[in-house]
Structure 1
Amino acid sequence: MSHLLRTSRLFAWLFLTGFSLATIVASGFYLYLRPGLPPVDQLLDIKLQTPLRVYSADDRLIAEFGEKRRAPVTIEQIPTIQLHAFLAAEDARFYEHFGVDFKGLMRAAIELVSTGEIQSGGSTITMQVAKNYFLSRDRTFIRKFNEILLALQIERELDKDRILELYLNKIYLGNRAYGIAAAAQVYYDKSVAELSLAQMAMLAGLPKAPSAYNPLADPARAKIRRNWILGRMRDLGYITPDAYELASAAPLTASFNAASTEVDADYVAEMARADMVRRFGDAAYTDGYSVQLTVDSEKQREATVALRKGLEEYDRRHGFRGPIGQVGEDELAPDNLDNLMANYPQVAELVPAVVTNVRDQDGEVDLHARGLGESVMAFSTMTWAKRYKTENLTGPEPEKPSDVVAPGDIVYVKPMVIMTPEQQTGENTEDSENEGERRVAEIPDVRRVALSQVPRVQGALISLDAKTGAIEALAGGYSFSQNKYNRATQAKRQPGSTFKPFLYLSALEQGMTPATIYNDAPIVFDDSELETTWRPQNSSGQFYGPTRLREALYRSRNLVSVRLLRDLGVQNTIDYLDQLQIPTEDMQKDLSLSLGSGLLTPMDLARGFAVIANGGYDVDPYLVSSITDVNDKKVFEAPEVILCDSNCERVQEEINEEDRNARVARRLADERSVYILHSMMRDVIRLGTGRRALALGRDDISGKTGTTNEQRDTWFGGFNHDIATTVWVGFDQPQPLGRREFGASTALPAWLDYMEVALEGQPSSLMARPNGIVNIRIDPETGKRARPGQEGAMFELFKEEDAPPLLPPQDESGGGSENSEDGGLSRQIF
């Protein structure tokens, strides 16, 4: 008995000694590690890494930036059954333990011994929160001890629901999806509330091993994991046996669903991204900002479509440049075609395809297109493909498919929209050139495509709210994926005749009138500053004699513009451009400036036209309308724009004193001069080089075409009182577009297509007529005031002080002198 007692005492002492040593060691670790543990209240301030999202003015998603897909949700937004699925998979005793579940640890140990792997895991959800938010993923004893200490601390300071919410928003679930809401979108393209029981269990199985149990990477293994979780939910009483049977038998429905953008606006998205990084640095990608832009989704969509269409039409006019690649017939094995196409990128809507067979007798070509598979191309979609030789010369029109392509050729094609029989028999009012692309009989199981090619020519389209400067649409090139260079804001090009409205506005400000006569006649300059003899010409090569400024503008007479600038003075004109806030650092300081030889970006020109459109007020283009943070708190809002005619500095001071979010747009040009210029530029549409814009059927459109020497740059800028839109077309490396290419044939069609949508349903918007304007009948040949009853006389607009004087009696009777003392500028010939 004494021996047993001694043995018992020995074991007791050994246990107490071991327990004491363990307590001392644990206490030592605690005392050592405790000062370095982060305070739990940091959890409430931690910003989940949520991507930057960019939206249009009408709340359409344009882009998402950031490495982690995340959409934080509150626990109230998550269905209870989804919570149960995660608890069953990760921590069934979550609402019972105090942060560390010793029963769970024992169960995990038993699973490891009996099955060779751990199904349910040993860490509690609270421990995982501690690890995910505060600790590294190193597998060390120190890290695990820190995890346990933090879990205990978290449990003391936060309630269970808050801990579970933090876990479900932070956990990584594969495919860059962080948090349950992002995973629901990525795998099922649904919100959390829309998931089925089987889908909920599938998501709950991902935290343990997002790669191994991923339904996209290993469907069979993912299904086993899903059904195990469903069984746990049944055993725990979360679901009924019947629900288990139905869910476990459900097929896998997961697929990859990236955040679907709703607007094709990559150039705009990149501008917004750069702006956000400038404001917030790298935090822009992770802090969950949402940016609302000024662009309208419908207008932006049409801007992209219109510019691409215009560039494609130019490209077709100049012929087919041939295949982008060729392969031997031995490489055309069906199982090799997808690999071949993988080497060629899709560009916008154009997809690469390899020709597998040419059937001249059927007028068709068989192809294998990337992402489309077997396709058929009708010869009617290839008739445009004359062989390109130079920008001015093409080969003969093809007569059969083999004149264009051969087996092994790799070309770009555009998928076609198959029309219904009703559409095919309906009236077709469009040009017959593209008829083959539109009216194609539907062939079951065969994809119809049309021959295309990626344009070498480029362009830009910018549309501004004329009064506020808000960018309503912007396209910086044919395809952002092809080239990220944003020509709308970065390409400095010669504006050609689209510069002339600023020159004519300067003339109106200095007392000239639409009736001022200038001689459209040959002129030669031997100027040392020009380093050569300069003989400017009209685009037609002809000369038209005395011409009123109104007619000179709408007919774009170059020689009148040269003489006008000479009289105004180059430096005076540069100073006036500075007043209009038009960049002059790249402007020629000689008479070639009159023909638009300086350099402006399309945005510069669009802004200048917006100043004219709104009646002469300053315009500051902007893209970002507002910015909200992850908590939906507005951190930036674009200021209201207030048009100001006088004492603008004082008005701005008053606004600042009232702490109003507003910007004063001061007047830059006399409203009467601008009003008269509007009238002159409407004649560009009615009578001049912009007549194609009459197709809009509106009376409020003003505009100006522009074409530089050798047709290297072509432009059209047009507006009404509300909206100003500019289009540029040219090559990135300046070169001639072709003898028959002008602003009216390259840029204006894209402008027209866009404005048809932008102005649809909008009432006519004309600048209100200001005081101090008079209408006077003039002789169109001389610009003088017309005699009573004179045939052919016409009304012209004048500022009151610049109106032509009354004719003296002798003039009315046919006498008088051309050089009479009271003759004004409106009667002189320059």
Structure 2
Amino acid sequence: MNLFSEGIHRATKTLLVFALLGGLFFGYIIAEVDEGGELAILASYQPTTPTRLYDINGVVYAELYRHKQQLLKYQDIPPHVVQAFLSVEDNNFFNHFGIDFSAILRAAAVNVISGRIKQGGSTLTQQLAKTVLNNRKKSFIRKFVEALFTLQIEQEYSKEEILEIYFNLIYLGHGTTGLASAADVYFHKDVSDLDVAEAALLARLPKAPVDYSPYKNPAASKRAHIEVLKLMASQGFVPADKVQSIHDEFWEKYWPIVITQSPSQSTWGTKLNRAPHFTEFVRQRLLKELGEDRIYSGGLKIYTTLDIRKQEIAQDELRKALKKHDDLVSGVTVNYAGGADRGLVGLYNFIGSLFPVAPTFVSRLDDKANFRVALEKELIDSADVLSLLLPADNESAAFTEFQKRSAVFGKNLHVEGAAITIDHTNGYIETMVGGYEFTPKNQFNRAVQARRQTGSSFKPFVYGAAISERIVGSGTGIMDAPLTTLTEEGEGWSPQDFDGDFQGMVPLSRALSMSLNIVSVQVFLRTGADAVIDFASRLTKADKSRFMPSPALALGIAELSPYEMAVGYSIIANKGRNVIPLSVRYVIDQSGNVIYNEELKVREELDKEAEDGSIQIISEGTAYILRKMLTMVAMGGTAANGLHSPDQGNYRGIAAGKTGSTSSFTNAWYCGFDPKLTTVIWLGFDKSSISLGRGQAAGVLAVPIWGKMYRRFYNGENYPTFEDEHGLDPQPEEVQGGGTCAYNGLSPKPGVCPVTQNLTLKPITVAGVTKSVQANRQCDGDRDHHKSIDFREFLQLEYQISDEEIGKTERKFKPQAD
């Protein structure tokens, strides 16, 4: 073989090798494109459907999604919007075949001259290809894949179809995918309503959505805006002599808007969410069941228990009340009229920060800085003691600039609150308000997550335990008089009533209506800590370890959430039967399949409990007696004025409930129900040691909110009643009626004593021991009707103490034998 032939042979082999490698290379590229099925993705493209939440009436009240998308048709996009984007991104779009070599050369020249990358050569179709291939790994080969995919797109789709897909897929910042979403976030408009100036602003965003964001970088956005308008003018889309006026007029209106918006503005700020605390509560529950991807990308329909009408009433009434009390906290500025002791001023300032009363402005306190810091650090836990130093008759002179200067208290001086409503007939959570507002920085749901001392709203659990144990009845007489018990540490503890006064012997129902602390402690001592804790735990479904076995438990030192209190009162309202709160009924996927059904699970659980008898958390008789007593509280006790007064709750229906105020007025509760709905209201500061203000008790703050809510729930008419269709309210079989003296709860003297109802549970025998409510002695109809009953007589009757032992007569000593 000659050299020429050998050369031909080697060249042929080399060409075959290169051909083979080239074939493999292009085959690999084609396989890369085909493997992903990108063209199929484009052909079947649909925007991500948000997951929607529905209330009990089928109203959509919230949406969940990662990126907000809305499908656009090309014909719905105004020509000047298309022109704006093409001016910036690809002014030769309608003339090239997907790759614009002239643009590539032009960009290369500009970049070489400038010494840095100032301009790109990608066409709009190439950008679309990159968007679709975004999840693929970056490599040298990817460039060839993108180029081939670009050519495939151009071959498969018309220019108008490519633009339609582009405008639906392009990311324009702040969580917006697609032009429709961007128009909503930046201008709160539909795409069809965008003008030339607005289109010019959006057109600069695709390649640098952060750098040119009007919310994050308004100055850069403004500079880029006029450049886009000039580009549009150079291509004949905008009159050149109108560019400056279009720019100036637009920014004159738009600048004040963007500089007052949060830089973190996004689709989250514009999404539908009319009940944010409840929506988040539902989302957290379903994350465990369905997973994050399914919730945000599955286009699910979540049917919840919320009643959006009632929810917005609850939100409105709670917010108005919180705003009103915040204004009271802020008060008005009052000047000291000279002669103020500087040391006392500092102390008053501190007390004022704990007990919001009208503020006093005191200048030149900087020299007292060390004193203020010491008070903040050392005395915060002594608020109750310090409160004794605040003159009751000088409420306009003890609140100063202290709170403005104090980083410790400044952020806590906003009254917060919560409201939750449960339909106790089926467990539906119909309202849930977790605070004044719901923001990215403040998503704390006080209705569920905040545990606060319950105060007197805990007393029904104490009374209920005693009734259940057949220790007392609704009319049993209990002595309201000074009482001292020993703590576990051996120290004396003496509870006091709200007004510091004592009522003497009173019927139990009146003691609850008046919220008498000492009577509650007496009932607790008779019943025993174990029985009270067991009763409270069963109702609230809180673990027993959270209840301190101390007489102070009778006054509500237990820390519970509004949710837990609502469950407890719901069970009382539901005749003692179990209530399992429901937030989600069921979930349907995009194919119409039920993929989660919480309501069915709950119904099956309750049916099983009904069969084995465990559905009765407390006896129906106990619940009935408690409901009767709580009705007296609502209709004539501590809640009556706040509920029914025209200038407060203005509620005209029947109700049952209990107020609760804690020491130093740090918490205000009202837990109430009617025949269908149970609602709990709580107000307080997030910093639990700060007071709502002197005299700001539950009856003043929480009760009117409940009344206004319920009035609006029923439109001020057609209130439900506890009576049946025959107008009767029959008592359960285990309840027996009776009467006691309305003054004191003693056995009434016939023809003399006014009688109040005394409902008790019938006697039962357990393990050979009969349990029954013991009758009090008979009232004498005269002296016993007065408050000044001899407390020694009460002790003698209660503890079988003789006259001699109690000191009514002198003890006689017999001489002892030698």
Q: Secondary structure at the match of 1:597?
A: coil
In structure 1, what is the Cα distance between the partners aligned to 2:708 and 2:561? Answer: 22
Residue 588 (structure 1) aligns with: 548
- What is the identity, as a one-letter code, of the residue corresponding to 1:305? R
Structure number having the greater helix percentage: 2
Give the Cα separation in 2 of the matches to 1:679 and 1:795: 10
The answer on whether the counterparts of 2:473 and 2:758 sit within 8 Å (CA) in structure 1 is no
Residues 390-789 of structure 1: pairs in structure 2 closer than 5 A: 392-393=390-391, 456=413, 458-467=415-424, 468-476=427-435, 485-511=444-470, 512-526=472-486, 529=488, 531-583=490-542, 584-623=544-583, 639=599, 648-649=608-609, 666-691=615-640, 692-695=642-645, 696-735=650-689, 737=691, 740-752=695-707, 754-755=709-710, 757-758=712-713, 760-761=715-716, 763-768=718-723, 769-770=729-730, 772=732, 779-781=741-743
CA contact under 8 A between 1:689 and 1:744: conserved in structure 2?
A: yes
Q: Structure 1 residues 568 and 714, CA, compared in 2 at 3 Å: closer, same or farther?
A: same
1:147 Cα deviation from its structure 2 partner: 0.6
Distance 1:645 1:271 in 2: 22
C-alpha distance after superposition, 1:230-266 (max 9, x if no partner): 87697xxxxxx99x99999855648457544677866
CA contact under 8 A between 2:167 and 2:179: conserved in structure 1? yes
Aligned partner of 1:448 in structure 2 is: none
Relative distance call for 1:17 and 1:621 in structure 2 (3 A) is same
- Conserved 8 A contact 1:704-1:717: yes
Kindly tell me: are residues 188 and 812 of structure 1, through their superposed partners in 2, closer, same or farther at Cα, counting changes over 3 Å?
closer
Distance 1:618 1:179 in 2: 49
What is the CA deviation profile of residues 218-237 of structure 1, one whole-angstrom value per residue up to 9, with x for unaligned ones?
A: 44543443564587697xxx
Q: Deviations along 1:327-386, whole A, 9 cap, x unmatched?
A: xxxxxxxxxxxxxxxxxxxxxxxxxxxx9xxxxxxxxxxxxxxxxxxxxxxxxxxxxxxx
1:43 to 24, 41, 44: 41
* 1:295 to 1:229, Cα distance in 2 relative to 1, 3 A: farther
**Quick check: 1:272–1:623 contact (8 Å CA) kept in 2?**
yes
Give how far 1:586 is off.
Answer: 1.0
Conserved 8 A contact 1:727-1:747: yes
Which residue does 1:366 correspond to in 2?
none
Name 2:297's counterpart in structure 1: 287
Tell me what 1:447 maps to: none
**Cα offset, 1:800, TM superposition:** 7.7
Q: Is the 8 A contact 1:729 1:746 kept in 2?
A: yes
Q: Name the CA distance, whole Å, in 1 between partners of 2:439 and 2:200.
A: 40
Q: Which runs of 5+ in 2 are unaligned?
A: 1-11, 259-264, 337-360, 362-385, 724-728, 765-771, 782-796, 800-818
Match of 2:754 in 1: 792
**Letter in structure 2 aligned against 1:544:** Q
TM-score by length of 1: 0.64
The answer as to whether partners of 1:127 and 1:148 remain within 8 angstroms in 2 is yes
Aligned-partner residue type, residue 173 of structure 1: L
Q: Secondary structure of the equivalent of 2:473? A: coil
> Would you say the 8 A contact 2:467–2:760 is kept in 1?
no
Q: Deviations over 1:140-175 (max 9, x none)?
A: 753321212334556788898876554323212245
SS in 2 for 1:703: strand
Query: What is the distance in 2 between the residues matched to 1:128 and 1:63?
Result: 30
Distance 2:457 2:718 in 1: 26
Measured in 2, the distance between the counterparts of 1:596 and 1:484 equals 27
- Are 1:315 and 2:272 an aligned pair? no
Give deviations 1:52-71, integer Å, cap 9, x for gaps. Answer: 888888868779785xx532
Whole-angstrom distance in 2 between the partners of 1:83 and 1:629: 36
Instruction: Say whether the 8 Å CA contact 2:639–2:659 is kept in structure 1.
Output: yes
Q: Deviations over 1:691-750 (max 9, x none)?
A: 322222323122212233454444222222333332334454543736644333444355
Tell me the distance in 1 between the aligned counterparts of 2:554 and 2:652.
Answer: 30
Q: Contact 1:645–1:667 at 8 Å: present in 2 too?
A: no
Q: Distance in 2 between matches of 1:755 and 1:665?
A: 32
Cα drift, residue 594 of structure 1: 2.1
Do the aligned partners of residues 557 and 782 (structure 1) sit closer, same or farther apart at CA in structure 2, a change above 3 Å counting?
closer
Structure 2 counterpart SS, 1:639: helix
Quick one: which amino acid aligns to residue 25 of structure 2? F
Which letter does structure 2 place at the counterpart of 1:681? L
Q: Secondary structure at the match of 1:489?
A: coil
Shift of 1:500: 1.0
Tell me the secondary structure at the aligned position of residue 536 of structure 2: helix
Moved more, 180-189 or 517-526: 517-526
- The 1:224–1:158 alpha-carbon spacing in structure 2 relative to 1, beyond 3 Å, is closer
Deviations 1:54-93, CA, capped at 9 Å, x for gaps: 8888868779785xx5323153784474885488555689
- 1:556 Cα shift? 1.4
Change (3 A) 1:226 1:205: farther
Contact kept in structure 2, 1:205 and 1:226, CA below 8 Å: no
Partner of 1:585, secondary structure, is: helix
Tell me if the contact between 2:742 and 2:753 (Cα under 8 Å) persists in the aligned partners.
no
Work out the CA distance in 2 between the residues paired with 1:631 and 1:79.
31
Q: Distance in 1 between matches of 2:529 and 2:53?
A: 44
**Counterpart-to-counterpart distance in 1, 2:517 and 2:634:** 18
- Partner in structure 2 of residue 385 of structure 1: none
> Could you say which residue in structure 2 is the equivalent of 1:305?
319
Residues 83-141 of structure 1 deviation map (CA, whole Å, 9 limit, x = unaligned): 854885556897998xx535x33455468769999999754554333311324799975
1:432 alignment counterpart:
none
- Aligned residue type for 1:587: F
For residues 233-312 of structure 1, the aligned pairs below 5 Å read: 253=250, 255=254, 256=258, 258=266, 259-260=269-270, 267-268=277-278, 271=281, 274-275=284-285, 278=288, 283=293, 287=297, 294=306, 296=308, 297-309=311-323, 311-312=325-326
Is the Cα contact below 8 Å between 1:197 and 1:247 reproduced in 2?
Answer: no
User: 2:131 corresponds to which letter in structure 1?
Assistant: N
Cα deviation, residue 554, structure 1 = 0.6
Q: Secondary structure at the match of 1:488?
A: coil
Pick from 26, 30, 35 the counterpart of residue 26 of structure 2: 30
Match of 1:470, SS state, is strand
The residue identity in structure 2 corresponding to 1:576 is F
The structural deviation recorded for 1:27 is: 3.5
Deviation at 1:605, TM superposition (A): 1.5
CA contact (8 A) 1:477 1:486 kept: no
Residues 47, 71 of structure 2: 8 Å contact kept: no
**Deviation for aligned residue 1:675:** 3.2
Displacement of 1:300 in angstroms is 4.4
Letter in 2 for 1:192: V
Q: Distance in 1 between matches of 2:146 and 2:288?
A: 37
Is the 2:740–2:758 Cα contact (8 Å) retained in structure 1? yes
Residues 136/178 of structure 1: CA separation in 2 closer, same or farther (3 Å cut): same
Distance in 2 between residues matched to 1:634 and 1:247, nearest whole Å: 56
Residue-by-residue CA offset, 1:483-541 (whole Å, 9 max, x unaligned): 655443333332121111122233333444312222333443346x3532333333333
Q: Deviation of residue 632 (structure 1)?
A: 9.9
Q: Are the structure 2 counterparts of residues 702 and 626 from structure 1 closer, same or farther at C-alpha, using a change threshold of 3 Å?
A: same
C-alpha distance in 2 between matches for 1:688 and 1:606: 20
